[in-house]
Structure 1
Amino acid sequence: MIVRFERNGKQKHGWFVQEENKIRVIEGDIYKRETAKPIMTGLEIEADQVELLTPCTPSKVVCIGVNYKDHALEMGIELPREPLMFLKPSTSVIGPGQEIVYPSLTDNLHYEAELAVVIKKEARHVKAVDADEYILGFTCANDVTARDLQYGDGQWTRAKSFDTFCPLGPVIAPKVDYQNLRITTTVNGEVRQDSNTNQMVFGIPQLVEAISAVMTLLPGDVILTGTPPGVGALQPGDEVAITIEGIGTLTNRVAAR
């Protein structure tokens, strides 16, 4: 699995070997935008000796609303006829272990567990059948939301774009069966969300096609694919953990205002 980390003031990518708890250092551009292809250096580092960062640095995060059948049922709303898109800015992105800051402008902060797609190469007008060619891999995401702002005046962008509102990580899994992955959320160890990606209304290939028909996706950009039922409130001091089968667990704490 691909990780991005900092050690001795330098940021690099590596391949995480979970059973050995080691990172094999990668040199070069993992997106292959440059002439030199990424190579394994042979250098291995204990994972405990580095700080894990966001596994990618997206220019934008494209999000999909109401994309789980069981979530739509929970909310009592009709399934959308086409993907509902909105954006989070790059400044909302934080990594594993970093704090989600509870803004003073909201009194109702919510978590939303999501499977995130990381784009490998520039994607424009991609057909669903070709979508996998443009995907580097998958990671865990938390679409943190100021729920009172979202429904107060319908400004989804404001409600979802505060700094620290898009935790990503801890790794990018290049190959998973994204059509059938268990996805769960715990808050302080209590299970709050528990579903499966097979509940998605629009599958990942459909999302890549729909989004790339509107905007060009760049290497490292991220698609958040929607959240299952069970969304709920967070309080300062809470620890929220999102686990996706075959990928891992993304854990963040909520900082007081």
Structure 2
Amino acid sequence: MKEGFDFASLNYLNSSDHVSGADLSFIKSYFKDKRFGLILDIATAAGHCSKVFESKLKVGIDLSLNMLKTARSEFGIIPVCATSTQIPFLDQTFDLVSCRIAMHHFENPGRFFSESNRVLKDRGILVLVDSIVDVEDGYLNTIEYFRDNTHIRSLTVKEVINYANNFRLLNYVQTKRKHTFYDWAKRLNADDEKVKQIETKFINLPENIKQELDVCMENGKVISYTDKKGIFIFEKYDIRA
């Protein structure tokens, strides 16, 4: 699993989907007057999410050593090789935990939420950004898996909220993200044949799903598609206390 991401670390550093976006702009604005002590970015990849937070120290965990090296050199993150389900830190260590465009790779989202809750201090913040599905659920998840077999499943808003039952939801915003097809399809260094197969799957989608995903085509070629991103801001809060 991690080998594909090791080879693609520079692709992720320069990826238009990761460098910027409405999600990063929203988060930066939301926390513009807040400075944290210690933050943890889960599945940090090249480290783009961490840059929007003001903090004394930033730790990033990822399975890919090359991703961690990139995050350290580009954003000054303290790198730790670890998974989202076994975070190697003591209880109540962090003021904020973030995870951007990664949870769809997690085999056990419930464990991710549980571990995030454990390492957060009381009233600590969890910022989660991920792809959100709706009527296109089965279609888009199938294409995503074909492109990248580490893709497990993008969730619905309801499913995310249900998994996060040990948090209080402070805010939720949904945005749309337009993906340049060839940048997206080749991010994990797919060859031309694989890219063509991915493109064919988009072309063969039912018309209502093409409209839902705003699939843009020119001269029989897929130029772009658009999906939904959910921005969740949770707080660790025990209502029984």
- Settle same-fold status: TM greater than 0.5: no
Higher normalized helix content (fraction of residues):
2
Higher normalized strand content (fraction of residues):
1
Instruction: Flag the structure with more relative contact order, 1 or 2, with Cα contacts below 8 A and sequence separation at least 6.
Output: 1
